[in-house]
A and B are shown apart, each in its own frame.
Chain A
Amino acid sequence: MNPENKNRFEPKIIAFVCTWCTYAGADLAGTSRMQYPANVRVIKFPCTGRIDPVFIIKAFQQGADGILISGCHPGDCHYIAGNYHARRRFAAFRKLLEFIGVDLNRIQFSWVSAAEGGKWVDVVTDLTERVRNMGPMVEFKELALEEQWSGGLDSPDLQQVYEAI
């Protein structure tokens, strides 16, 4: 192993996907043996309309560095209009996150159909690389740490411990 890579940052990407389109698209990418970053953890929902903004907050709190939300193209929703509702909800939620100072580059929305294995690979790869360049998402973790650790995440003490590992 290259010693330089020892502690290399690997982003954690959480993908919230709908079962009918994007999950099937990701499945197609898998069965077609396409390669995409293993950083993505897929969580399957019945529909993008079921994806509550609180899930995104929760994911960030639990250590996600990037988030993907993906579902059926407009007009293709299995439940007819779930993705239209999701589109508005997330348009609004993005504005809220932006207002409190979250970098929107960490969140990607996409429509990936069951036939678009290639698009799934592109979306996941781009997001992973983008987040990798941005570095870890520390804001939410710092909030959680605040009660236990009075220093910042990048304090010299912590760095020393980290390097000693």
Chain B
Amino acid sequence: MTQTINTSGYSAITDSIRNEARRILGDGTVSAVIGYTSSRREGSTQPTVITKSEDADKLLFTAACLNNLVVYLTKAKKDVPHEGRIGIIVKGCDLKALVGLLGESQLKRENLYLIGIPCNGVLGSLFNPSAELNSETIAPKCRECTDRIPAGCDFMPDVETVGLPELNPFYSSEIARLEALTPVERWEYWKEQFSKCIKCYACRQVCPFCFCEQCLCDRNRPQMVEQTPRPSGNLAWHLVRAMHLAGRCAGCAECERVCPMDIPLNLLNRKMAKELKEMYNSEAGFEVREKGPLTSFDEHDDQSFIR
């Protein structure tokens, strides 16, 4: 049965972030605000950077505001101003990515003005941006989201969002299903998935944590990962990507959303997050972690697999 999800608070949130953006741009608190604005297609949205308080009315928040804007704060995005204090609109999952970047010393908190959204879920895709938000159209990540309400922001619209109804989790049940298969079946599953990859690197481009100046996968002396979209190079790319994001990924699922080939990238991310939580009790959240699980260690870590 399709359950409708209440997004009535979103128009009040829109008003509230417009007022706040006007205020902070007007009094010079920030030099720019990164937010969402309406896009050409009816109902769809796109990221925008506004620098004048007159433009504040262009901002909005709807269930079609899918992007994780935090990616524009990274040094990989050179066309976005990085000077002065920047305002940014963040949902809970986006904030976790931002907090991760703070922990990796990529950003300074005092250079940011965070506008948090008490989020009630967004759509899974912009295929039909005006679609009603319901248990069918909601993004898989929102189904099991436990961090809808950001914490530690500089401003949060004073709007009550009702919260989500009980929805079947997507990633955790998918992981459980795969774990129950035999290794051969799992290999077949992933082989099928990875073989679809066309190496467009959209997933890398959109990820806030893929900010390296030069990706290991682009290097060719020595070439560690084959660059052409062929089955064996694809497998290597996906394993390297999952490993480099293990312990860092915030679960914003942007990689999965932008993948033109519908590869379930976030499934690997969630699996790694789950294992690292179990082994080292460390996961992405709203608290800045000085070190991630794979950049720290404990002398008493489990080594039952080592002879």
B286 contacts A by Cβ under 8 Å: no
Which of A2-10, A24-32, A37-45, A136-144 lines the interface with chain B? A136-144
Q: How large is the interface on A (under 10, 10 to 19, 20 to 34, 35 or more residues)?
A: 35 or more
Q: Is B124 on the interface with A (CB-CB < 8 A)?
A: no
Query: Across the interface, which residues of A come within 8 angstroms of B216, CB to CB?
Result: 54
CB proximity to B under 8 Å, residues A49-64: 52-55, 57-58, 61
Bits for B223-250, please: 1 = Cβ < 8 Å to A, else 0.
Answer: 0110000111001100110110011000
With A96-B239, A96-B272, A102-B183: A110-B307 Cβ-Cβ less than 8 Å:
yes
In angstroms, Cα B304 to Cα A111, docked, is: 12
Take A61-B236, A143-B235, A146-B231 as given contacts and tell me if A91 and B188 are in contact as well, using a CB distance cutoff of 8 Å.
Answer: no
- The answer to whether A111 touches B297 (Cβ under 8 A) is no
Q: Is B186 an interface residue (CB 8 A)?
A: yes
Q: Report B209 CB to chain A, min CB distance, Å.
A: 16
Tell yes or no: B262 within 8 A of A by CB: no
- The answer to whether B272 touches A57, judged by C-beta atoms less than 8 angstroms apart, is no
CB distance from B37 to the nearest CB of A (A): 39
- B243's partner among A53, A101, A139 (CB-CB below 8 A) is A53
* Residues in A whose Cβ lies below 8 Å from that of B297: 81, 84-85, 87-88
Is the CB of A103 closer than 8 A to any CB of chain B? yes
Given A54-B225, A57-B235, answer yes or no on A89-B294 (Cβ-Cβ < 8 Å).
yes
- Judging by beta carbons under 8 Å apart, are B183 and A54 in contact? no
Question: Residues 296-307 of chain B: 1 if any A CB is under 8 Å from the residue's CB, otherwise 0?
Answer: 111101110111
Q: Given that A93-B243, A96-B268, A99-B268 are contacting pairs, would A143 and B231 also be in contact in the complex, using a CB cutoff of 8 Å?
A: yes
Residue interface mask A64-92, B partner, CB < 8 A = 1: 00000000001100000100110111111
Return the chain B residue nearest A86 by Cβ.
B297
A92 touches B239 (CB 8 A): no
B246 touches A92 (CB 8 A): yes
Residue with the greatest number of chain A CB neighbours at <10 A, chosen from B178, B242, B276, B297: B297
* Partner among B224, B247, B272, B303 whose Cβ is within 8 Å of the Cβ of A74: B303
Could you tell me if A92 and B294 are in contact, using CB atoms closer than 8 angstroms?
yes
B residues 113-159 near A (Cβ < 8 Å) are: none
Contact, CB under 8 Å: A57 / B185? no
Flag whether A125 is at the interface (Cβ < 8 A).
no
Q: Given the known inter-chain contacts A74-B303, A100-B186, A101-B188, please indicate yes or no for A92 contacting B272, CB distance below 8 A.
A: yes
Give the interface size class of chain B. 35 or more
A100 and B294 contacting across the interface, CB-CB below 8 Å: no
B77 within 8 A of A: no
Contact indicator B305/A91 (Cβ below 8 Å)? yes
- Note all chain A residues with C-beta closer than 8 A to B275: 92, 95
Contacts of B179 in A (CB 8 A): 99
Contact of A84 with B236 at beta-carbon distance under 8 Å, contacts A54-B216, A101-B185, A139-B187 already known: no
Question: Quick one: which of B243, B295, B296 has the most chain A CB within 10 A?
Answer: B243
Q: Does residue B279 face the partner (Cβ distance < 8 Å to A)?
A: yes
Give the shortest distance, in Å, between A53 (CB) and chain B (any CB): 5
Give A58 to B236 CA distance when docked, in angstroms: 8
Within the assembled complex, what's the spacing in Å between the Cα atoms of A103 and B186?
11
Q: Which residues of A contact B272 (CB under 8 A)?
A: 92, 95-96
Residue A147 at the chain B interface, CB threshold 8 Å: yes
For residue A123, give the distance in angstroms from its CB to the closest CB of chain B: 6
Contact of B212 with A by CB under 8 A? no
Using A88-B297, A92-B293 as known contacts, list a sample of 19 further A-B pairs with CB atoms less than 8 Å apart, ordered by residue number in A.
Answer: A52-B224, A54-B225, A54-B240, A54-B243, A57-B235, A61-B236, A75-B299, A84-B301, A88-B301, A89-B294, A92-B279, A96-B243, A98-B183, A99-B179, A100-B235, A101-B187, A102-B183, A110-B306, A147-B231
Can you name 13 A-B residue pairings with CB atoms under 8 Å? A54-B225, A55-B224, A57-B236, A85-B294, A85-B297, A88-B279, A90-B305, A91-B279, A91-B301, A92-B247, A143-B191, A144-B232, A146-B231
Which 4 residue pairs across A and B have the least CB separation, nearest first? A101-B187, A101-B186, A84-B297, A143-B232
